[in-house]
Amino acid sequence: MKCQLVLDSYTAYVDYELTATTRTQIEDHLKQCRPCREVFQELDSMVASLNDISPIQTSPDFNERLLSKISKLNTEPAQLPWYRLPTVKLSGYATAAGVALALVFSQWMSPPASTLPATNSKSLPVAGQTTPKAVNEPVFVSQDTTGSGTDSLQLHDRRTLNPDQPLQLVNQRP
Amino acid sequence: MSGMQPITDEQLIAQFQAGRESAFIELVNRYKDRLLNFVYRFVGDRDEAEDIVQDTFLKVYKNRHAYREVAKFSTWIYTIAGNLARSELRKRRRHKTYNMSQIGLEDRDFDPPDTDLGPDSHVSWRFEEAEIQRAIRQLPDQFRTIIILRDIQELSYEEISRILDIPMGTVKSRVNRARLKMQELLKHLKENG
């Protein structure tokens, strides 16, 4: 039996997974081959040393610290450095930058504002603020249409309202 | 109630995916020490190993819906922990802050190697944990993992096969090759101090 084959059989030998014949062949080889015998002995010592290593345990506050990290996860938005942002987000920013550039460019190319018809402001409404130019903007008012006493949000056309009247949440409950 | 089967890891993760957070805690309790011992042999520093195990569970928590029961839960979690440990080692190599004193354990003196091997002398090596730790870190990744699982954590071939998702025959042959490689490394360490 060749040395390499004997060495390759070490684990199977110690696990008693070899046939009686192969086992005998290995033992005969070991009796005659000192280098292989030494390697087997070293392997025995090594495996025993590895088995003897005492396991370590997590610290007593392991779970507590983990749960604290988890609760932070649940409350804080994930903030990634720019280089870790997913590709899809980067491409989203690139698209947004492209759109912004296109808008700037179209401003240069467009005729003077005085020749264009007035456009509506697209800014979002803010509670308590009036937006006199936005006369065509729809607004949400609270209205109880079911008589159940619960409010429901309904879309109204602002044109039906006085444009000078401050925007307010209207509860039409009787 | 003697025939009652203990709840499996896969059942626990399914419960967690369905919103039962206590199932996650049960998984943490089942795996935290096993993973700590596994990761510790990779990185050699206890605190760092514990941080990596915490990160492993955070990943499991965040990505719980990414787990599909095509693989064993143990395969999944050991893979996460192993990847985090490897990435930590890579980070250290990149930053060139890798030295023995930082890894821990290595600041102990080694026993002088036993060189008195006469013709009939019986080889009786004793290995300090520090030597073992040093040799383990020099092993190629796949050998290191298998040595930790088989010879330190003393898992069965079947468990290792499940964790690494490789056939049992591959596990056995890899264990043998890993042992031979480790023995070479230890011999080298003994001979060169």
What is d(CA B101, CA B71) in angstroms, rounded to the nearest whole number?
39
Q: Contacts by A47-54 with C-beta closer than 8 Å and gap 24+?
A: A47/A14, A47/B151, A47/B179, A49/B125, A49/B126, A49/B127, A49/B132, A50/B132, A50/B147, A50/B151, A50/B152, A51/B151, A51/B152, A51/B154, A53/B129, A53/B132, A53/B152
Q: B122 near A41, Cβ under 8 Å? A: yes
- What crossing angle do the helices spanning B157-164 and B168-192 adopt, rounded to 10°? 100
Which of chain A's residues have a Cβ under 8 Å away from the Cβ of B87?
A: none
Cβ neighbours of residue A91 closer than 8 Å, sequence gap 6 or more: none
Higher pLDDT, A96 or B12: B12
Task: Compute CA distances B148 → A54, B139, B144, whole Å.
Answer: 13, 11, 6
pTM of the model: 0.62
The predicted model gives B140-144 an average pLDDT of 91
- Residue B98 touches chain A, beta carbons under 8 Å: no
List phi, psi (to 5°) of A168: -150, 160
DSSP-based three-state secondary structure for A137: coil
Which CATH fold would you assign to the domain B8-98?
Rna Polymerase Sigma Factor; Chain: A (1.10.1740)
Q: Please report the sign of the dihedral spanned by the C-alpha atoms of residue A108, residue A111, residue A113, residue A114.
A: positive
Residue of B nearest to A43 (CA): B183
CATH of domain B108-193: 1.10.10.10
Residue A167, pLDDT score: 41
| Domain residue limits, chain B | 8-98, 108-193
Q: For residue range B99-133, list pLDDT tens digits in order.
A: 433 333 333 333 333 333 334 444 556 678 888 88
pLDDT at residue B129 in the model: 83
Query: Tokens representing A30?
Result: 């070991």
Q: Which of residues 52-81 of B touch A (CB under 8 A)?
A: 53-54, 57-58, 61-62
CB within 8 A of B104, min separation 6: which ones? B44, B45, B46
Whether this model's ipTM surpasses 0.95 comes out as no
Q: Does residue A42 belong to the interface with chain B, where contact is any CB pair within 8 Å? A: yes
Enter the tokens of residue A152.
């429901």
Partner residue facing B152 (CB), from A50, A62, A73: A50
Tell me the pLDDT of chain B averaged across its residues. 82
Best to test chain B binding among A42, A57, A68, A75 (most B CBs inside 10 Å): A42
Mean pLDDT check: name the lowest of A96-105, A160-169, B34-43: A160-169
* Cross-chain Cβ contact A58/B151 below 8 Å: no
* Cβ <8 Å between A53 and B132: yes
Residue B174: pLDDT band by 50, 70, 90 thresholds?
Answer: very high
pLDDT at res. A78: 54
Tell me the percentage of chain A whose pLDDT exceeds 70.
43
Alpha-carbon distance A3 to nearest alpha carbon in chain B (angstroms): 13
Cβ–Cβ below 8 Å for B123 and A69: no
B186 contact residues in A (CB cutoff 8 A): 42, 46
Size of interface A-B (CB pairs under 8 A): 96
Where does B7-164 have alpha helices with state H? Answer: 9-17, 21-43, 46-62, 73-95, 100-103, 129-138, 141-147, 157-164
Domain boundary assignment for chain A? 3-52, 130-174
Question: Of A11, A63, A66, which is closest to B179 when you measure between CB atoms?
Answer: A11
Q: Which A residues in the span 104-143 are in contact with B, Cβ-Cβ below 8 Å?
A: none
Q: What is the pLDDT of residues A31-61, one digit of tens each?
A: 999 999 999 999 999 999 999 888 899 999 9
